């Protein structure tokens, strides 16, 4: 038979005091319910993460903390980057720009999500690699216009998850370099695809490139590597 939990017993004994004010009694009932749930979970949160119990010996508490760290580690991004990219739409329904990632930050293609500053445009992310991705916008009503859309993006690499590109990279490669003083990517050549294929299967040249580390337009630094 399992020994009764000392903390639960102490709370229960206090609750049996008929002279308790209503507010204190209500607080004790809540504490007793919380402790009951903790005992049911066996020292774990509702999400299954372990934690040390106040009545645990020191050694068991250390083991619980280690188990907690090991449980959290796979859920924590191994690497992250974020920023804002400028996408120019020129008398068209769509527009796109290649965004370079901080050099050496990712060991495999990250998961990237983006949102547009203009609610009339959808954002799609594709051509993902450890070095760059393609950010594209498309008008919801298929209306042609000339405008600038700012795409806020977030890239994360999980320990066991790799992103899959939704658009096929084709053609050759070109190299771009950010010249911005103090930028994380300053002076480092980054290889990117020179063309991409859109949702309709049409191939286009990459004409706009933004440094994801500092946000600078580095389109003019492109050099053909084909």
Question: pTM (2 decimals)?
Answer: 0.59
pLDDT, block means (10 residues), the chain with 226 residues:
69 82 85 72 60 62 67 66 92 93 88 92 92 94 94 81 39 84 91 80 85 89 77
Ordered domains of the chain (ranges, CATH): 6-75 (no CATH), 79-224 (2.60.40.2080)
Residues 190 and 131: beta-carbon distance below 8 Å:
yes
Percentages helix, strand, coil for the chain, rounded to the nearest 5?
25, 40, 40
Q: Residue 204: its pLDDT value, please?
A: 81
Question: What are phi and psi for residue 185, nearest 5 degrees?
Answer: -100, 10
Residues 196 and 203: beta-carbon distance below 8 Å:
yes
């Amino acid at each position: 038979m399992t020994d009764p939990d000392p903390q639960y017993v102490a709370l229960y004994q206090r609750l049996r005091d008929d002279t308790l004010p209503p507010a204190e009694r209500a607080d004790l009932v809540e504490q007793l319910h919380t402790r009951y749930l903790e005992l049911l979970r066996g020292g774990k949160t509702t999400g299954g993460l372990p934690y040390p119990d106040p009545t645990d010996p020191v050694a068991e508490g250390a083991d619980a903390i280690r188990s907690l760290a090991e449980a959290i580690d796979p859920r924590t991004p191994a690497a992250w980057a974020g920023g804002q990219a400028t996408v120019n739409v020129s008398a068209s329904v769509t527009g796109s720009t290649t965004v370079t990632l901080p050099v050496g930050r990712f060991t495999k293609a990250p998961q990237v999500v983006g949102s547009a500053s203009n609610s009339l445009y959808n954002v799609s992310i594709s051509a993902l690699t450890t070095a760059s991705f393609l950010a594209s916008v498309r008008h919801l009503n298929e209306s042609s216009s000339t405008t600038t859309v700012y795409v806020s993006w977030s890239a994360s690499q999980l320990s066991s998850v790799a992103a899959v590109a939704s658009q096929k990279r084709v053609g050759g490669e070109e190299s771009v370099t950010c010249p911005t003083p103090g930028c994380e990517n300053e002076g480092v050549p980054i290889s990117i695809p020179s063309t991409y294929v859109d949702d309709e299967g049409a191939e286009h040249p990459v004409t706009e490139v933004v440094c994801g580390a500092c946000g600078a337009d580095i389109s003019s630094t492109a050099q053909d590597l084909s």
